Amino acid sequence: MKEKKQISAVRLLIYVLCIALTLLSIMPFWIMIVNSTRSTTEIQQHAISLIPSKYLLNNLKILTGKSFNPLVGFKNSIIISTGATLCTVYFSTLTAYALVIYNWKFRNIFFSFIMAVMMIPSQLVSIGFYQFIYKIHMTNNFLPLILPAIASPTCVFFMRQFMVPVLHIDMVNSARIDGAKEFYTFNKIVLPIMKPAIATQAIFSFVTNWNSLFLPMILLTKQEKYTMPVMVSLLKGDIYKTEYGSIYLGLALTVLPLLIVYFLLSKYIIAGVALGGVKE
């Protein structure tokens, strides 16, 4: 009887802790949404409030009055983030497939090189990258922000580590015996197996590219090419007043697509975790 009571008490403590952590995680997003409905005066007088106010439409008018076009920002950010995410997950999985399935002479050296590239901060090459893009006249173009995503050392490492225990060479050999070509085998057999890993990296890649500010700000100088983070970074008031309510509204609009992408792809992550927990 005492053991049952102890188990119930521990279970109750775990539930309370999980609920507290959940509320703690949701709180910043809720405060951001609430502040997007409040006026600048309310935010300055009471920085934190959990009750929405009535100034949402007014903040939207101020936001669009600052040459802020959410539709253009959404379109540009979605084009860049979606294109970069597709390049990252597909070609990284393809590279990991070559590292796991094919037994070639310099395989370990190539993998070590990929690990070494992971140690190099991206800021070190940004100046040279900008000079290169400027010389080939590709500024104000989305391609320099999409195509480099093909080479993602972190994603390659993750895909390889996931692929080693789940993909067996016998499956690939069976497909080859049946006459399947290499790309057909990869697209029809390997990619479905890698869905949990692809969903995980797709979320990370989409969030990273959506929130990217430095490179889009220096490569995209035309207003019609601005992404959402660039537009939000330019939300400033005049020399006398900054409209914090409109800034919070811009931030809320920026975060919204990230939440949608997560909820769409999270089921694949959960399915992969459940699959990994089942023993044969």
Q: What pLDDT digit, counting tens, does each position of 26-83 carry?
A: 888 888 888 888 888 888 887 778 888 888 888 888 777 766 788 888 899 999 999 9
Greatest Cα pair distance, the chain, in angstroms, is 78
* Residue whose tokens read 């660039």: 230
Which stretches of 102-212 are DSSP H helices? 107-118, 123-135, 143-146, 153-166, 169-177, 182-185, 191-193, 195-211
Of the listed ranges 170-174, 228-232, 275-279, the one predicted with least confidence: 275-279
Compute how many other C-beta atoms are within 10 angstroms of the C-beta atom of residue 264. Answer: 12
Compute how many other C-beta atoms are within 10 angstroms of the C-beta atom of residue 223. Answer: 12
Q: What is the mean pLDDT of residues 249-270?
A: 78
Are residues 73 and 228 in contact, defined by beta-carbon separation less than 8 angstroms? yes
Residue 76: phi, psi to the nearest 5?
-65, -45
pLDDT for residue 143 is more than 70 = yes
Q: Using one digit for the tens of pLDDT, what is the confidence trace for 88-107?
A: 999 999 999 988 888 888 88
Of 39, 36, 40, 34, nearest to 52 (Cα)?
34
Residue-level pLDDT at 236? 67
Compute how many other C-beta atoms are within 10 angstroms of the C-beta atom of residue 53. Answer: 17
Integer angstrom CA distances of residue 201 from 79, 153, 209, 255: 18, 12, 12, 18
pLDDT for residue 22 is more than 80 = yes
Residue-level pLDDT at 280? 42
Rounded Cα distance between 192 and 194, Å, is: 5
The two counts, helices (H) then strands (E), for the chain are 15, 0
CA–chain centroid gap for 154, Å, is: 13
Residue-level pLDDT at 277? 42
Of the listed ranges 21-25, 110-114, 122-126, 137-141, the one predicted with least confidence: 122-126
pLDDT for residue 1 is more than 70 = no
Residue-level pLDDT at 83? 93
Half-sphere exposure of 36 (CA within 13 A, CB side): 20
Percent of the chain with pLDDT over 90: 12
pLDDT for residue 239 is more than 70 = no
pLDDT for residue 237 is more than 60 = no
Are residues 34 and 52 in contact, defined by beta-carbon separation less than 8 angstroms? yes
Rounded Cα distance between 40 and 62, Å, is: 11
User: Token digits for 203?
Assistant: 């979320």
Residue-level pLDDT at 221? 86
